[in-house]
């Protein structure tokens, strides 16, 4: 039970009820713009504060690091469709193609591209952030795929003994690799070919 506020490093917990909504929005907007304009690495806390016309302390009061700010930006970007289940028309191949094509479109926009890259880069040396990303974005993302595949198993379109965890990796891993290493462009055709190939491995 922490009661001595100044004993634990002088870090008094701020009162969220008094938080300025205006400042929060301005900070997230500024960060969002800057990450697209200059990228994560060249974006500085100082620049965020300046563009948001906000004191630096106001940022540090509510977020522990630059990554944390951008995590919030990212969450807002992808937030709405986070837990959304995948479409289920009855044909798993069609549905997966629909989803992957949409993902191609998403990762082709500069905002998403740069922000996602920034994260993938950042979690390589920020374990804390990696855990958060894993829990808030990766796991839920994987789960909706697994859910759709389970439904496909029930429909007899996927082998019952298939390792679904691995199956999801087979769908998303190549996609991510191609995007990260820029080995080849992400296209709708690619999304379809990928699903076709993976379905070969999953069909009963």
Partner DNA sequence: TATTAATCGAGACGGTACGTCGCGTCTTGCC
Partner DNA sequence: GGCAAGACGCGACGTACCGTCTCGATTAATA
Q: Which residues bind a second copy (CB under 8 A)?
A: 2, 4, 6-8, 39-42, 47, 50-51, 117-118, 120-125, 130, 133-134, 138-139, 142, 162-163, 165-167, 169-170, 172-178, 180-184, 193-194, 197-198, 200-202
Closest by Cα among 81, 188, 190, 198 to 149: 198
Q: Does 32 bind DNA (CB under 7 A)?
A: no
Q: What are the distances in angstroms from CA 94 to CA 38, 87, 108, 160?
A: 38, 9, 21, 19
| Residue closer to a second copy, measured from CB, 88 or 144 | 144
Choose the binding region for DNA from 48-56, 114-122, 159-167, 176-184 (rule: CB under 7 A). Answer: 48-56
Q: How far is CA 9 from CA 1, 46, 58, 126, 154, in A?
A: 16, 24, 18, 23, 56
Site for DNA in 122-151 (CB under 7 A): none
| Residue 130 partner contact from DNA, a second copy, none using kind-dependent CB cut-offs of 5 to 8 Å | a second copy
The site string for DNA over 52-81 (x = CB under 7 A, - otherwise) reads: xxxxxxx-xxx--xx---------------
Q: CA-CA distance, 65 to 94, in Å (whole number)?
A: 41
Question: How many C-beta neighbours within 10 Å does residue 119 have?
Answer: 22
Please, what is the minimum distance in Å from the beta carbon of residue 180 to DNA?
23
Cβ atoms of 43 and 31 within 8 Å: the answer is yes
């Amino acid at each position: 039970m922490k009661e001595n506020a100044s004993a634990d490093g002088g870090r008094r917990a701020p009162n969220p009820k008094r938080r300025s909504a205006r400042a929060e929005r301005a900070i997230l907007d500024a960060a969002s713009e800057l990450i697209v304009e200059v990228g994560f690495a060249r974006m500085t806390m100082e620049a965020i504060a300046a563009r948001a016309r906000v004191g630096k302390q106001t940022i540090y009061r509510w977020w522990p690091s630059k990554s944390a700010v951008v995590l919030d930006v990212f969450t807002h970007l992808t937030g709405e469709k986070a837990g959304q289940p995948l479409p289920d028309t009855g044909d798993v191949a069609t549905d997966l193609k629909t989803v992957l094509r949409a993902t191609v479109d998403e990762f082709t926009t500069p905002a998403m591209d740069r922000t996602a890259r920034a994260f993938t880069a950042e979690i390589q040396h920020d374990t804390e952030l990696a855990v958060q990303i894993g829990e808030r974005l990766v796991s839920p993302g994987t789960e909706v795929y697994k859910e759709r595949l389970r439904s496909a198993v029930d429909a007899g379109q996927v082998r019952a003994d298939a390792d679904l965890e691995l199956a999801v990796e087979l769908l998303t891993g190549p996609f991510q690799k191609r995007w990260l290493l820029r080995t080849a462009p992400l296209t709708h055709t690619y999304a379809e070919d990928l699903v076709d190939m993976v379905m070969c491995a999953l069909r009963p």
